[in-house]
Amino acid sequence: MGVADDYKPAMAMVGLQFSYAIVALTTRAALLQGMSPRVFVVYRQAIATLVIAPVAYFSRRKSSSCSLSLRSFSWIFLAALIGVAINQNIYFEGMYLVSSSMASAMGNLVPAVTFVIASIIGLERIDLGSLRSIAKIAGTILCVGGAVSMALLRGPKLLNAELMLPENAVFGSGGDNWLLGCLLLFGSCCCWSLWLILQVPASESCPDLLSLSAWMCFLATLQSAILSVFTEPEPEAWHIHSSLELSCCLFSVGSGLSFFVQAWCISRKGPLFSAMFNPLCTVIVTILAAIFLHEEIYTGSLIGAIGVIAGLYVVLWGKAKDLVEINGEKKLQNGETMARNVSILIDDSSEKTSCEIDLEEPLLSDKSVSNGDARNVNFLIDDS
C-alpha cells in the first residue's frame, strides 16, 4: 500500500498533463470552427468568476479577509491585466495562427523567461562563479534558441508527410501568420512570467488567495470584455454555435480541480516534481494534434522543441539547487534560534516548566520550510 501511495503523485501529474493536452486540442478545434479568441477569453473568465466568487465569499474568514486599499487594488488590477487579459488573448490568438503543439511547446519557456525578468529587476541573484547560476543562464539560452528554431526553421515533415518536399521548406514558415503567431506565444510567456512575479506584491497586499483569485477573474473579465467590444463589434461573434465551443468555455469550472491536484502534488513531492512533468503535455499534444487535427510536424520544430525542453530541465536543476540552499539556511537559522531559546530557558531556573514544554516541540518547524517552498512555486511552474 505504501508503494502505491508513492506512485500516486506521479500518476496524478500524468493524468493532469493528459487533461491539459485535451483542453489544448479542443480549444484549437473550437477556434478553427470560427470562435473568436477574444470572445472565448471573456466567456472563460466570466464563468470562472461566477464559480470562484461565491466560494471565496463563503469560505473567507474574518482574520484573513482581504480589505482592498488603493494600493492593493492597483496590484490586483495590474496582475489581472498582464497575467490574464493580455496573456490569454495573445495566447489563444497565437494558438489559432500556428498550432496547438507549438503553443504547448512555447509554454515551457516560462521558467527561463521568469529567470531573465527576475534577474533584471533584482529578484534573482547571478553569480558567475556558481554552477547553479551558470546552469540557469545556459538553460535560458538553450530555451530561447529552441524557440527561435521552432519559429524560423522548417525542414522536411515528420508526421502527415507528403512525398514531394515543398519550396521554402527549410526557412520561412507558412507566411507571416506563422511568425506572428510565434511572436504572440512568446509574448504570452513574457506576460505569464510577469504575472508570476506580480503575485508576490499582490498576495502580500491581499493574503486571502481565494479572494485574490476572484478579484483577478472579475477584473480580467471586464478588461477582456472592453477589448472584445472594440475588436468584435458584430453580435454574431458572441454566439456559441456548437457544443464543442460551449464545453471549452465551461472548462474554466474544471480548472479549479486541476489547481487542487497540482497543489496536492506540490505538497507531497515539491514544486520541482510538478514542473518536471510539463514537457509531457507537449509530447501528448504533438502526437494527438497530428492524428486528430492533422497538424504538420517539421524537423526544425521538433529540434527546437527538444532544445526548449532540455533548457527547461537545466533551468529547473539550477533552481532546485537554489531551493536546497535556501531551505538549508532556513533550517540552520531556525535551529540556532531554537537552541539559543532553549539555553536561555535552561539558565533561568524559575522557568523550568516552560523549558520542558519547549523541548517537546520539534526544533525545525515544517512551517518554515513550507513557506520557503511556497515563495518559489511561482518561479518553477507553468497553467495555461
Distances (CA, A) of 274 to 11, 13, 27, 103, 262: 11, 7, 24, 20, 7
Query: Residue 317: inside a domain, yes or no?
Result: yes
Interatomic CA distance for residues 46 and 256, integer angstroms? 14
Bridge partner list, 157: 298
Q: Which domain holds residue 352?
A: 2-377
Q: Is residue 151 part of a domain?
A: yes
Which triple of cell numbers denotes residue 102? 507549438
Q: What domain count does the chain have? A: 1
Walk along the chain (384 residues) and give the pLDDT tens digit of each residue: 455 666 788 888 888 889 888 888 999 999 998 899 999 999 999 998 898 888 888 877 554 555 678 888 999 999 999 998 999 999 999 999 988 888 988 888 888 888 888 888 887 778 788 888 888 889 889 988 888 888 777 777 776 554 333 444 444 444 568 889 999 999 999 999 998 888 888 888 888 777 888 899 999 999 999 999 998 888 888 988 888 888 888 876 666 567 667 767 877 777 667 777 888 888 888 888 888 888 878 888 888 888 888 988 888 888 787 777 766 666 666 666 665 655 555 555 444 444 333 433 333 334 434 444 444 444 443 444
> Is 323 domain-assigned?
yes
